[in-house]
Each structure stands twice: as C-alpha cells, then as structure tokens.
Structure 1
Amino acid sequence: MDTTTLKVLVERAEKSKIGQVDFNNLSFGNVFTDHMLVCDYRNGVWETPKVMPYQPISLEPSAKIFHYGQSIFEGMKAYKDADGATWLFRPLENQKRLNISAHRMAIPELPEEYFMEGLKALLRTDEQWIPTSEGSSLYIRPFMLASGTGFHASPANEFKFIIACAPSGSYFSGKVKVLIEEKYSRSANGGVGYAKAGGNYAGQFYPTQLANEKGYQQVIWTDDNNHEYIEEAGAMNIFIRINDTLITGPTSDRILDGITRKSILEIAKDEGIPVEVRKITVSEVVEASKNGTLKEMFGAGTAAVVSPISSFGYRDADYDLPELENSYASRLKKRITDIQYNKAEDKFGWRYKV
C-alpha cells in the first residue's frame, strides 16, 4: 500500500519526440526522453518535485557548480519485462548512495520519498520510452548540483536535484584491453573516491587518454601510495579470478561501493563460487598470469553489468587472459540480467515494480 503524502507535479510536453527515435539502433546515453524531474533546494528545504518537459537549465555564471565542482550523480536502469511491466533494480541502494555522496560533498541530503516518488512519477510519464528489445533498457541519471551563486570558496546554499533518462541499447563494449596505472591515481585516502562526485570521473579522462594512445581501452587504477594494489577498472569495480576463487578489493575511501559489485558478491556465494574480499597486489596478478592460474578479470557496473577483460598491460608487457567456455563473468551477468528483466526468480528481493 502506497502511503506517501508527497505530491509530484507533472507538466507534460506538448509533443513527443519518440517518433524520431530508432529503438533498434540505440547507442548508449545519447537520446533523451520527453521529460525530466527537477527539484530545487532553497531556504533550507527541498521544494515540491516537478516532472517537466526535457529542456536546458538556466544557471548564473556565478553558480558554484562552475567554480567548485559541487556535484554528484547516480546511474540506474529501468527494464520492461515480456508482459510490459516496468522494473527497477535495487533503487533504494542508489538513493542511499546518493546521500552518502551528498554528505561528503556538503550537499543537503535528499529524503527517500523525494527520490523514489519523483523517479516513479517520471518513469510513469515516460513509460513508452523504456525499450523492449533484447538487452536494452532505459538508463536513468539522477544528479545534484550547486545552483547557488557566489565566488566565495564555500558550499552553495541552493541546489538542484534532476533526473534525466536515455533509452539505451545493449552496452556491447566487447572484451577490453586494460593498462595498469603506476603514475596517476583515481583517488586517495581521506578523499572523495567513494562518492559519485563528478570530479572523480573528470580526473580519469587524461590518464585514460594516454592509455588509449598506447592501444588500451581502459586503465586499471592502483592505490595512491605505492601503486601496489589493484583497485578499480576504469569507472567500474574490478573482479579477478585466480583458479576457482573470485577476488575483489574491499571498499574504502578510494573505492566506490558499487551496487553491481554487491550483487555479484551475493550471487557468487549463492552459486557456490569461492569469494574473497581482500586486497590483491599487482605482483600477485602478474604471477598468476605467468603460472596459468589467472582465469578471468572483469569490470562490474550499471552500464555494462559485466565487462570482461581480455588482456592487461604492465611495465611494457602484455598478459593475455584465457578464453573460457563457462566463465564466471557470463554466468554472473546472466543471473543479474535475468533478475532485472523479470525472467527468473528474485530470491534476494532486488526487483522493484514501478
């Protein structure tokens, strides 16, 4: 029973753009739905959220987002099942993490009701935009930014919470070749690495460009101290399989607490796959590759779910991963996506019907 008292205002677009979209040829995150959700924070309170036509937002040149980067975001998806019902995957985890990020970035936290009721109102308004073809989904981007003005280096006093959506096809990135980074760091102890702050991602672009120039698609981030420990894969959490054991690093100030990561850990245990959450050194991975015990490496995140790594580069040498028939990556991806699309039992209670 829905007991919410929060009212979400809805202003519908006069004309839909949906007829101009080829849903059989969708790239990732480049086409946007007819509507967006906007909620402003002013005078110490979050105002009434409103679904409105997708449009540019107007900000003063002195808005603090432009000067001090006070912004955070989340990544989610909505799915249609065979009967046309709409589902979300663990949305309250995104809501909780948004507020963890907000707290770290001195942004006022958003009440759960505003997040969930605003999101549901938006999805119901743009329901026809949720793709139904195999592997496609509606990518959802909730974000918050400092709209308050002033050049003083201090937190803003006004903020915007916005949700925008993009129908997206299957995220076929294929297998990727990665470079283990030894100079640049994604984050540091005491920093904001565990928050989904925009600047974390901007700071990755340049080292990734350098890796691209060398023929690699992504960077494997290592710790900021001695570059001794494997931490993340590009903008994703990383998993490493040595023999039959699946290993991933513990979350920390530097590592994002990924929702796909958490889901993989639970599903792996349910499948009887040995799991270790511990620090893993670059030297251990290199040695495992040399002696044949390194079986798989893959990234895990919302967009691709699971992104297999075909080889990694380290100190001017490349190390190839074996081709496996029944990989952990493919098994775990199928388990997650079958839950997301309502194709299989959800014993974990992760599916959320809109």
Structure 2
Amino acid sequence: MDFAISEKMETILGMIREFVDKELIPMEPEFLTNEFRDMEPELEKKRDMVKKMELWAPNHPKEYGGMGLNLMDHALVSEALGRTPIGHYVFGCQAPDAGNIEILNLHGTPEQKDKYLQPLVEGKIRSCFSMTEVEQPGSNPVIMDTTAVKDGDDYIINGHKWYSSSADGAEFAIVMAVTNPDNAKYMQASMIIVPSDTPGFNLVRNIPVMGHAGSGWSSHGEILYQNCRVPQSNLLGPEGGGFVIAQERLGPGRIHHCMRWIGICTRAFDLMVHRANTRMMAPGQPLGSKQIIQAFISESAAEIQAARLMVLQAAWAMETKGHKEARKEVSLIKFYVAGVMQKVIDRALQVHGGLGMTDDTIIAFLFRHERAARIYDGADEVHKASIARRILKEYEGKNIR
C-alpha cells in the first residue's frame, strides 16, 4: 500500500484548505443561527467561486461536469471539507446527492441521466434518498413495508418513510420499495425515482434532531407516500435490484463519511489544543499545563492518526479488491471512526467548559449533529456483530496454540 499523495492532489488539497479557512469557517456563526433558505444566496456565491476554481463536484463524473477523482483522492478531499459543516455542500459533493449521483450514473437510463443526473451534478437541483422507515429497523434494509404495485404502465407507491435527508426542497427522491414480495428477501425491493411534486408525495415535517429541525439540505424529512403514482420507466436498474444497488451506494459512502469524520476530528482537535494553550487557570498556568488535558490531547492525536490510516487502507482495499472483498475493512472503520469522533468532540467540549455548551463555537453543533454517526448506515452494534461472526468463522477448525 502506497498512500503517497500526488503533486496535483497536494495542490488541490492546499486550495481546498485555504478556501475552507478563508471563505467557509467565517460563515459558521451565520450557519448556526439561520435557516438554510436564508443562507442559500450566500452559499450559492461560494459555490460559484468553487466552480471558477475548477474544484466543483470532486468525485462526480467528468462528462457531467465533475472532477472525476477516484475513491482515494476523494477521501482526502472529504477530510479537508469535513472541517466545516458547509464544506461538502459548497463543493457539490454533499450527501445524499453524492450517493444518488453514483446510483444514477451506474444504473440510470439515458433519459434519467438527462433529466436528473446532469442537473444534480451541476448543483441546479437537490435530491433525497428515501429508504429508512418509521416502523422498521433501519439497519436491516431487507425488512420494508413500503410497496410499489404495478398498475398499467405505472407503479403505485404506499409507505411511511423518515430520515429522508434533504427532502425539504428536493426535486426528487430515490425510493426503496417492495416490488417483488415473492422473491428471495434480498431481491424483493427496487429503487424508483419519485419527483417531489407527484400527488401522494407528502413531506410531513422536517424531523427535529437534538432540538433542531433544520431546513433544505440540512433537514431530515418524514414522508408519507399515499397512492403515489409514477411511471415504471422511473425504475432504477433491474426490478428487485434495490438491495444490491444500496450496497454499492453504501460502501463508497462509508469511506466518504469516515474521512469527513476525520476532518471533524481535526477541527475539534485544533480548537481543543488552542483552548488548552490560551485558557488560563491561574497566572502563568494555561489549561494545557494540567496532566489530564495533556492526556486528552495525546490520546486524541493517536486515535485520529489510527482512524485516518484505517480509512485510507479501507479505501485502498475497495479500489484494488472491490466492495465485496473490502466489507470487513469498511465495517471496521464505520464503527471505529464514529467512536473516535465522539470521543474527540466530547473532549474538546469538556476543555471548553461552559463555552463548549454554547453555539459560540462549532463544537456544540458537532456534538449534537454527529452523534447520529453511530446509528446511520448501520448501527455500531450491527457492524460489530457482523465482523465478529466473520472473524469467528475464519478461526473455525484452526489449531491455535
């Protein structure tokens, strides 16, 4: 494994880091106190700047206006952008659009690509991914109540979804629904494009998460699909192929998430160390002179470095061996990096004391917003159990002394 960064990528990363520091981090106080729709004009100006710098949509196909970076290079970009909550949006690679773009690029028809993929990559529209259900375990995507029943040339969709991220203002949703209930359990559901102006697509609310509902791209929607009729030509990939497509989407998505989390760790770490150096407990005695704070700093530095190398190794494995062979590595980073991020943010908040509880810094936002990392894309416990079963099977029949 060679994790050396090319000269071209070093230049790109340097430009991104400078942009984040000079243009985006100063916007965070406004981000913390305003609705997305109020900030959208200013964010669009920043997006235009990114496009002029030719740094737009780093991981998306060149033929549609992206940079076409491979998984390893985009992992590094995700880390650089993760230092601010608005980084990925301003650079056109935010979830869930990034995953939806991958699905459309791999499985969309020419007509679907013209209508949805092209404007999505260009940042002219937004989308959402509608899989998780209110009454079913989100970590098991083969258990699903939402149905899509054929009627003539159409599907009629009925179901209750939530955590359909960014549904507020999205042009369309990619919906997971059962189309083939008699198939084997992994071949029952399909992915279907549902425009948000379709009768029967009902955005019930933006779900309040830790006291903040959000709006636009930063929201999590609860949606009722009530006799929602769409043409069968809106099917993505083969009928019954929804689970397989979802796994294709989730693998690279977990790499992106984990490197974004490393960026968050780095930001929280920087704030923690700065606070330790500048907060005085007594004349001539900075907070960082206390042994417990020094332990916070050294443990965080080691854990961030370990997490970063684990993610890069997983990205390398996925690129060289494929998603199936890299499943173990991807599951390991999913729960490990999320845990490291939680610890680093918590330590940073603790070092800031009462200030850390306020929105005068970004730390409180990170604390409440990133707690979900240990739940979405498979709860920690699911990944741990899956890995343990795989390891136990590997050891079966071995004579260990």
> Which structure: larger Rg?
2
TM-score, normalized by the shorter chain, greater than 0.5: no
What is the TM-score when the length of structure 2 is the normalising length? Answer: 0.27
Higher share in helix? 2
Q: Which has the higher contact order (CA 8 A, sep 6+)?
A: 1
Higher share in strand? 1
